[in-house]
């Protein structure tokens, strides 16, 4: 393996204190409800931060799969937005420092990337690592967001991990980082947000709020969430309007609620995914009822409101 340190460039003007927590969220294979993208964009937009290290996209990214954005202005190219994967030194709402790893999930060289991240963790004496992910699940939007917690933070697992399956699933690059850190007995926690499957293809602000709350539980960091919470209330209110106006949709949501509540009460249901017959309301059935609403919301929100301080 080539030297992992050649995958990134360090900003020589930034001094990183030892013993900080590391928070990570990479976008790529799956990001139900846009939870990771919203969370990381919100943190970068609302908090003071300085880039510590920038990874080489030409080494790690498949540009054909995730095309960069250019701005065409009438008759010329006015702007080019290159993909970015970077480590930043940030401060929470109370001024406490932490490290923040954000950007694209690498398409290539996972082992080398993982070694690079572990090297930075060792170089800066990182105290703990926390990362977020989000997957679609047949759960109702009318209940608090549930989580699955992985890693070696038993306190967080016992307190917050609702669904604990034994299963094989497609990995992402942060899974490999967690796996390597776990082997080194470095404090590591991975939060998987279980997002209602009928909302997985839209930006669901409540998922970002849940992600920030989980990070706070793991690190003690405090983040401003008023803007996201207000967006979430507006979003849920509009969904509730659709549910109230459609009897079939209301029935489907009630079914999800009943299965969720039964699971949470510790009944014979083996998971929040299915009943004893292995059946759940179709995501397509619910999504079809919400299609007009989501299309309206996307049109209305083409220019998102400015984030709060």
Distance (Å, whole) CA 195 – CA 89: 29
Is the whole-model pTM more than 0.75? yes
Residue 306 confidence (pLDDT): 40
CATH numeric code, 4-224: 3.40.50.10900
The whole-number pLDDT of residue 269 equals 32
Instruction: Determine the pLDDT at residue 248.
Output: 84
Q: Mind spelling out the 3-state secondary structure of the chain?
A: CCCHHHHEEECCCCCCCCCCEEEEEEECCCCHHHHHHHHHHHHHHHCCEEEEEEECHHHHCCCCCCCCEEEEECCEEEEEECCCEEEEEEECCCCCEEEEEEEECCCCCHHHHHHHHHHHHHHCCCCEEEEEEEEEECCCCCCCCEEEEEECCHHHHHHHECCCCCCCCCCCHHHHHHHHHHHCCCCEEEEEEEEEHHHCCCCCHHHHHHHHHHHHHHHCCCCCCHHHHHHHHHHHHHHHHHHHHCHHHHHHHHHHHHHHHHHHCCCCCCCCCCCCCCCCCCHHHHHHHHHHHHHHHHHHCCCCCCCCC
Which pLDDT belongs to residue 287?
Answer: 59
> For position 280, what pLDDT does the model report?
52
Instruction: Please give the pLDDT value at position 288.
Output: 59
Give the pLDDT confidence score for residue 276 in this predicted structure: 47
Q: What is the pLDDT along the chain (309 residues), one digit of tens a residue?
A: 899 999 999 999 999 999 999 999 999 888 999 999 999 999 999 999 999 999 999 999 999 988 999 999 999 999 999 999 999 999 999 999 999 999 999 999 999 999 999 999 999 999 999 999 999 999 999 999 999 999 999 999 999 998 888 989 899 999 999 999 999 999 999 999 999 998 999 999 999 999 999 999 999 999 999 999 999 999 999 989 988 888 888 888 899 888 888 888 864 333 444 444 445 555 565 555 556 555 544 554 454 434 333
Domain ranges in the chain are 4-224, 232-300
């Amino acid at each position: 393996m080539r030297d992992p340190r050649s995958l990134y460039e360090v900003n020589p003007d930034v001094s990183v204190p030892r013993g900080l927590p590391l928070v990570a969220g990479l976008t790529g294979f799956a990001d139900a409800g846009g939870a990771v993208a919203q969370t990381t964009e919100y943190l970068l937009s609302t908090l003071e931060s300085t880039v510590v290290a920038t990874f080489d996209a030409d080494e790690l990214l498949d540009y054909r799969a995730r095309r960069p954005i250019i701005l065409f202005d009438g008759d010329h190219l006015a702007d080019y937005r290159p993909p970015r994967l970077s480590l930043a030194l940030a401060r929470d709402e109370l001024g406490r420092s932490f490290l923040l790893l954000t950007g694209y999930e690498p398409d290539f060289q996972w082992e080398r990337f993982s070694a690079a991240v572990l090297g930075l963790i060792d170089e800066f004496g990182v105290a703990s690592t926390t990362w977020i992910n989000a997957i679609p699940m047949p759960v109702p939007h009318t209940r608090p967001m549930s989580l699955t917690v992985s890693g070696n933070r038993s306190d967080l697992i016992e307190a917050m991990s609702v669904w604990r399956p034994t299963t094989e699933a497609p990995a992402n690059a942060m899974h490999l980082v967690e796996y390597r850190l776990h082997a080194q007995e470095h404090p590591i926690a991975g939060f998987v947000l279980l997002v209602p499957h009928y909302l997985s293809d839209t930006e669901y602000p409540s998922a970002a709020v849940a992600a920030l709350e989980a990070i706070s539980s793991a690190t003690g960091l405090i983040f401003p969430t008023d803007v996201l919470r207000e967006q979430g209330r507006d979003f849920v209110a509009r969904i509730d309007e659709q549910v109230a106006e459609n009897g079939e949709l209301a029935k489907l949501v009630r079914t999800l609620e009943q299965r969720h509540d039964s699971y949470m009460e510790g009944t014979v249901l083996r998971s929040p995914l299915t009943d004893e017959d292995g059946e759940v309301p179709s995501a397509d059935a619910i999504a079809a009822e919400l299609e007009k609403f989501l299309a309206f919301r996307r049109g209305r929100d083409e220019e998102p409101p400015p984030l709060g301080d």
